[in-house]
Structure 1
C-alpha cells in the first residue's frame, strides 16, 4: 500500500472549493484513494466524506492507495493538497 502524508495548505482547509478540487482530482486518478485525518478514514472521491474530516489549514492528512498507478496518484493528490488552492481562486484575488 502506497502512502503519503501531507499538510493541508489551503487557508480554508479542505472545505468548499479546495475540497471540490481535491475530490475531482481523486475521481480522475484512476485508483481508489483514501484520505485519513486523525482516526477517521474516508474515500477521497466522497465530497461528504472529505468535508466530514474537518481538515483545517495545517492539518496533516494521510493518503493511501493500492495497485498499479498508486504512487503516481498519491503524488498528484499530495501536490494538490500542498498548494493554497484558496490563493489560486480568481474570486479571492
Structure 2
C-alpha cells in the first residue's frame, strides 16, 4: 500500500470540474484508490462518492492506493490536487 496526505489549497476546494478530471486520472490506474477526509472515505474512481466528501480548502486529504501501480497513482493524484489554485 502506498499513501500520501496533502492539504487542499484551491479556493473552491475540489469542485465538480477538477473532481471529474481527478476521477478520470484515477481510472487510468489499475490500483484500487481511496480518498479520505475527516474520517470519511470514497473510491477515487467514483465522482458521485467523491462529491460526498468535504473536499474544501484546508482539508487534509489522504490518498491511498493498493496495486501494481500504487506509488505512481498516489504521486500523480496528489500532485494534481496540490497544483489546483
Q: TM-score, normalised by structure 1?
A: 0.84
Runs of 5+ unmatched residues, structure 1: 88-93
Name the one with the larger strand percent. Answer: 2
- In the TM superposition, structure 1's runs of 4+ consecutive aligned residues that sit over 3 Å from their partners are none
**Partners of 2:30 and 2:68 within 8 A in 1:** no
The gaps in structure 2 that reach 5 residues or longer are none
Aligned Cα RMSD in Å?
A: 1.1
Aligned counterparts of 1:9 and 1:32: Cα–Cα separation in 2: 25
For these two proteins, the number of residue pairs brought into alignment is 85
1:47 corresponds to which residue?
47
Q: Is the 8 A contact 1:33 1:64 kept in 2?
A: yes
